Structure 1
Amino acid sequence: MTDEAQGSPAGNAGDASVLGKNRRKPLLLGLGAAVIGVAVLYGAYDVFIGSRSVSTDNAYVGGDNAQVTPLTSGRVVEVLVTDTQPVKKGQLLFRIEDADQRIALEQAEAELASAQRTYGQSLANNRALGASADASDAQIASAKAKLASAQATLTKAQADYGRRAALVGSGAVSAEDLTTAREALASAKAAEGEARAMLAQMEAAAVSARRQEDASVAITQGTTLSTAPQIRQAQAKVDQAKLDLERTIVRAPIDGVIAKRAIQVGQKVQAGNVAMTVVPVGQLYVDANFKETQLGNVRPGQKATLTSDFYGSKVKYHGKVIGFAGGTGAAFALIPAQNATGNWIKVVQRLPVRIELDPKELQEHPLRIGLSMDAEVELTDAD
């Protein structure tokens, strides 16, 4: 009894050891089958589902911000917006003191009026010089007539003197008559010379008058009150002054939300300095940084589904791929990576892919620049 009682536990232990070995093999086979099944399922998922899309959680909202910069210098007299305030395109943002611009506009308008009067005076001067030239031409005709008369008188005086001189020897003409005829001839010659000189003077005066007229007309020739160079120059100054005056009122260039307001009332701003930024929340996009190993089949036009950490997975955005960045983030870093070293380790790079968002969905669920996104691109779909 004692030996039997003492042997029973040993026998039970042996049976348990044998039973454990018998169970170990099925368990190992089951575990191996489970691993193979998981591998098959993963492979099937990768082939039939995973290969149809690529995804990343390294994605962020971006947008083309509009920087508001005054185009004229001056003191800020009114600011009508603040950070986070929505604005519409054309809405008044702030005003700059416009006293200097108004004075400049009045001066430019005065210069324009003066130029218009000067142009009118030039036209009147042209007409006066033309009339003077016409008068000179008329005087030439009169001088020619006087010369012809003087020449006729000279011819008659020469004939009279010749007849009397021929009769002096016969005593038919007295010495007094001959002297009178000689004096008449001399007087006729003098009158003819004077008439010829007067004609030359009139012709020279007419030429001078025409040249003065031509010089005056050349300034206004082919122009009108609106096309004359001096008028256009003065008008340009007026337009510039008006533009400077309009630029004292600064309006929103696009729809969006005000950010980074950097001006206060009373502050003097300089032309070109950024006063604030308008973020176009209705025209945002996503830059998704995919691994280079994921991009082999990504093409512009492929559809994308996105979720934001801001709203969670309950809100989905839909968009499409519109392009790829020109290089990786490392390539455009301030200090690019230097891989030409002996201790180089290959690191998978990421390339930004730009995804356009649906404006209607953005309007329903607004986003802000810099928010994190999860992006998934459907590789089987492209426009």
Structure 2
Amino acid sequence: MVSSPNPAPNNVKRRNRWIFIAIGVFIFLFCLYGIYWFINLRGEVSTDDAYVSGIQSPIVAQTSGKVTKVNVINTDLVKAGDILIILDDTDAKLAYQQAKDSLANTVRQTQVLYINADQYLSKIKSDEISLQQAQQDYQRRISLGRKDDVSVEELQHAKQTMELAQLQVEIAKQQYQANQVLLHDVTLNEQPAVKQAADTLRQAWVNLQRTTIKSPITGYVARTNVEVGTQVSTQSQLMVIVPQEPVWIDANFKETQLQDIRIGQSVSVTSDLYGDDVTYQGKVVGINMGTGSAFSLLPAQNATGNWIKVVQRLPVRIELDKQQVNQYPLRIGLSMNVTVDVRNDEGQVLTTTQRTTPFYESNALVLNLDDVNLIIENIIEQNTYRVTTEQ
């Protein structure tokens, strides 16, 4: 029998050749990655523990009452000043009307003080005339008494009448002064009782306006927690309004990654919502003053003896480009992937400048008191008594 040649040596050589090729390719790719890391990645730190944060404006009732109408629901767009909820205003209307009546009554009662002032002045003049007459009578009787034309008893009565007239003048002056203390030389509108009644009316008017609950900002309705018939109080959170912007990123970097992070460094951000197709550009605007565990409701007590070291994370606040956010809106709580370019180390770790303008503000809930002030002026005008004199 003729034996066939053994192919084993050829297979071994072929296998070894592929192994060497694979090792060479691996080493080549490793070198390429090393070069890429040295040029690009060496100056970057990244984290996927990052989330979108933004403003959540809570809608809370400013007065108690029963809900009669709910105009919005979750995801609805509302503008600043739009009516969200209406409460039953029966009690508020009654209190408002009572405050109007109380102001009118106070104005009328306070005017009595001004009228009394005129009466007291007239009484002083009348008593002074009576005193003058009593003094003259007493002087005449003294002259007659020297001639024994009047009795001692009549002279004594004349003296007592004069003294009584003096007391009447003093009493009238004291009454006038007491009344002036109440008036204090101010106009009717500035009298404390009138001002207090006017303030009570303003408060009643404000409470009536607050039965209509409005949106403080422009945004989207979320976390609605109210229905028609619900009894709400000033502690009841009814819903939340979330504006589209401003939004920012809270990126939780490990403490071992924070050494080179500075305020002002450029940041590239991608979201799980849009994927790698959309890359947001931003910058570092602040580094939190404490870790998440330090600010938690129940912070860790590492001094108890049961201690296990855990790498902590510190929130870094990142501001995004507003145009990109408007083009590709984000929602609060979305996961983000953050990469910070740390090659520029000229920035600061902590900001040294104070904010000079409000971060966010709205005047939509500020009530204009011009209307109720006009109502107060009309009530005072209508209940002011004016004396007319005929020549």
Q: Which moved more, 1:76-85 or 1:362-371?
A: 362-371
Question: Deviation per CA, 1:233-288, whole angstroms, max 9, x where unpaired?
Answer: 11111011101100000000111110111111222222220111111222221111
Q: How many residues align?
A: 346
Tell me the equivalent position of 2:380.
none
Question: Deviation per CA, 1:321-375, whole angstroms, max 9, x where unpaired?
Answer: 2222332233344554455588855432221111123333322221111111111
Aligned pairs for 1:35-114 within 5 A: 35=27, 41-42=32-33, 44-114=35-105
TM-score (norm 1): 0.80
Question: Deviation per CA, 1:15-38, whole angstroms, max 9, x where unpaired?
Answer: 998x789979x949x947964x66
Which whole-Å CA distance do the structure 2 matches of 1:123 and 1:46 have between them?
91
Aligned partner letter, 2:237:
V
Aligned partner letter, 1:239:
R
Aligned pairs for 1:187-226 within 5 A: 187=150, 189-226=152-189
The runs of 5 or more residues in structure 1 that have no matched partner are: 158-184
Aligned partner letter, 2:81:
G
The runs of 5 or more residues in structure 2 that have no matched partner are: 349-391
Aligned partner letter, 1:245:
L
CA RMSD between the two structures: 3.1
Tell me the equivalent position of 1:287.
250
State the 1:146 CA deviation: 1.8
2:227 match: secondary structure? coil
Which whole-Å CA distance do the structure 1 matches of 2:164 and 2:300 have between them?
93
Aligned partner letter, 2:188:
L
Q: Quick check: which one's helix share is greater? A: 1
Tell me the equivalent position of 2:336.
373
Query: Aligned pair 1:271/2:234, yes or no?
Result: yes
1:348 match: secondary structure? coil
Larger radius of gyration: 1
Contact 1:150 1:188 in 2 (8 A): no
Aligned partner letter, 1:279:
V
Which whole-Å CA distance do the structure 2 matches of 1:33 and 1:368 have between them?
44
Question: Deviation per CA, 1:267-319, whole angstroms, max 9, x where unpaired?
Answer: 22222201111112222211111111111121223232212111222222233
Q: Which moved more, 1:265-274 or 1:70-79?
A: 265-274
Query: Aligned pair 1:235/2:226, yes or no?
Result: no
Which whole-Å CA distance do the structure 1 matches of 2:96 and 2:8 have between them?
112
TM-score (norm 2): 0.79
Which whole-Å CA distance do the structure 2 matches of 1:364 and 1:232 have between them?
54
Q: Which moved more, 1:241-250 or 1:257-266?
A: 257-266
Aligned pairs for 1:329-344 within 5 A: 329-337=292-300, 339=302
Aligned pairs for 1:247-258 within 5 A: 247-258=210-221
Aligned partner letter, 2:257:
Q
Contact 1:74 1:269 in 2 (8 A): yes
- Going from structure 1 to structure 2, the CA distance change for 1:16 and 1:205 (only over 3 Å counts) comes to closer
Tell me the equivalent position of 1:130.
121
1:95 match: secondary structure? strand
Question: Deviation per CA, 1:113-145, whole angstroms, max 9, x where unpaired?
Answer: 111111111110111112111221222222222
2:101 match: secondary structure? helix
Which whole-Å CA distance do the structure 2 matches of 1:355 and 1:86 have between them?
26
Which whole-Å CA distance do the structure 1 matches of 2:185 and 2:25 have between them?
99
Aligned partner letter, 2:263:
P
- Going from structure 1 to structure 2, the CA distance change for 1:293 and 1:218 (only over 3 Å counts) comes to same
State the 1:94 CA deviation: 1.0
Query: How much identity, in percent, do the aligned residues show?
Result: 36
Aligned partner letter, 1:93:
L
Match for 2:322 among 359, 362, 383?
359
Query: Aligned pair 1:148/2:136, yes or no?
Result: no
